Amino acid sequence: MGELTEHDPDTAAPCRICGGSTRAPFTRTPAPYEVTTCLTCGLGETTPLPPAEELRALYVGDYAADHGRKFGPFIEFGRRAFIRTLAKRISRRAGPGGRVLDIGCGDGKLLRALAELGYECTGTEVNPRVHEGLPDGIEVNVAAGGLAETEFATGSFRIVVLRHVLEHLPEPLDTLREVRRIIAPEGSLVIAVPNLASWQARLMREHWFHLDLPRHLFHFTPSALERALVHTGFRVERTSHFSLEQNPYGWLQSGLTAGGGRWQTLYDQLRSAQARRPEALVLAMAVAAMPLCVGLGTVESLVGAGGTIETWARPS
């Protein structure tokens, strides 16, 4: 992970998970943001942490105004397919029926898919425009704001989903403690985060797509995530490193970003909110490189070093 920083172990802010104060640099360029890792548990932390007002501004404009979508029609079609697969996997593992909470539900795709499978669905989302993407006829309740702003009853949800949300939160342990309170005694927590210990993260460092500075405040390894869950009253049942939705694109965009210039803009060009047509040369390079990226994502997942991790846990 690199050499130790000059932080004095006696004065550095303690790690949010283990209390350790000795850190090493993960990123190689310190400005304007850097990531350091705890040498005890492996948790990465973005420094400096952006103020709350700046963080809120980062999420404005994530979804297009007229249709509530983040990307163009072709990519949105693929996203819906991946989400339907996830919903079916949740149904198989957790069983049918009951109340589901999706924290940071984004545009509501997962809630819609789960509602169609017979679940009673609730979501929270800091972007108030999420309602624009919810079709008529689907019984989904979305509370604008974060989990701390809601007043859910103790033990009221059988399934709680934290999918690519925990890394965005300034107090991840507080969120997990609140989840522990509102989840049923035999409930299931489904949590997914980028994997700071993945091959793509360790190779690409500050160019890694899933680092997403400064929106991602904390960066988890499998061991750091498990320690956080155990510390907040959960036991881990299963962890998967495979994600066809996330891992190949992590390799692709990270490689393009490392190339600099026009190559690092593919993701922004694909977002419908940008109203830009993808540059032909960049798009052609992406299409040509994707088979290699799928292969890399598959291999790293097989050896337990995938770009993202999905963990299932239950209250202990």
Say yes or no: 63 and 41 in one domain. no
Which residue, 16, 33, 48, sits at the end of a domain? 48
Question: Is the pLDDT confidence value at 275 over 60?
Answer: no
> What is the structure's pLDDT at 9?
38
> What is the structure's pLDDT at 276?
59
Mean pLDDT over 115-134 rounds to 80
**Stretch among 25-34, 56-65, 86-95 having the lowest mean pLDDT:** 56-65
Amino acid at 20: G
**Stretch among 14-23, 260-269, 275-284, 293-302 having the lowest mean pLDDT:** 275-284
> What is the structure's pLDDT at 71?
65
pLDDT band at 64 (very low <50, low <70, confident <90, very high): very low
pLDDT band at 160 (very low <50, low <70, confident <90, very high): very high
Closest by alpha carbon to 123, among 99, 95, 154? Answer: 99
Instruction: Compute the distance between CA of residue 278 and CA of residue 294 in angstroms, rounded to an integer.
Output: 21
Share of the chain above pLDDT 90, in %: 63
Angle at 198 (CA atoms; ends 197, 202), nearest 5 degrees: 75
pLDDT band at 69 (very low <50, low <70, confident <90, very high): low
Say yes or no: 66 and 144 in one domain. yes
Mean pLDDT over 118-144 rounds to 76
Share of the chain above pLDDT 70, in %: 86
CA 41 to chain centre: 19
Say yes or no: 39 and 64 in one domain. no
> What is the structure's pLDDT at 138?
66
Mean pLDDT over 241-247 rounds to 94
Say yes or no: 262 and 307 in one domain. yes
Mean pLDDT score of the chain: 86
Say yes or no: 300 and 215 in one domain. yes
Question: In this predicted model, what pLDDT tens digit does every residue of 24-39 receive, in sequence order?
Answer: 999 998 778 999 999 9
Say yes or no: 21 and 155 in one domain. no
> What is the structure's pLDDT at 2?
35
> What is the structure's pLDDT at 45?
95
Question: Is the pLDDT confidence value at 126 over 90?
Answer: no
C-alpha to C-alpha distances, 60 to 65, 119, 129, nearest whole angstrom: 11, 30, 9
> What is the structure's pLDDT at 72?
65
Instruction: Compute the distance between CA of residue 116 and CA of residue 39 in angstroms, rounded to an integer.
Output: 45
Type and span of the H or E element at 228: helix 222-231
Say yes or no: 15 and 72 in one domain. no
Say yes or no: 198 and 260 in one domain. yes
Say yes or no: 76 and 24 in one domain. no
Mean pLDDT over 7-12 rounds to 44
Say yes or no: 176 and 234 in one domain. yes
User: Are residues 275 and 216 in contact, defined by beta-carbon separation less than 8 angstroms?
Assistant: no
Question: Is the pLDDT confidence value at 248 over 80?
Answer: yes
The residue segments making up the domain with residue 243 are 49-315
Residue 285 corresponds to which tokens in the numbers above? 């390079």
Mean pLDDT over 163-192 rounds to 96
Say yes or no: 14 and 134 in one domain. no
> What is the structure's pLDDT at 70?
65
CATH of the domain at 139: 3.40.50.150
Total structural domains within the chain: 2
> What is the structure's pLDDT at 135?
58
pLDDT band at 61 (very low <50, low <70, confident <90, very high): low
Question: Is the pLDDT confidence value at 67 over 60?
Answer: no
Say yes or no: 36 and 114 in one domain. no
Question: Is the pLDDT confidence value at 6 over 70?
Answer: no
Q: Which residue has the tokens 């993202």?
A: 308
**Stretch among 66-75, 77-86, 256-265 having the lowest mean pLDDT:** 66-75
**Is 189 buried (19+), middle (13-18) or exposed (0-12) by CB count in 10 A?**
buried
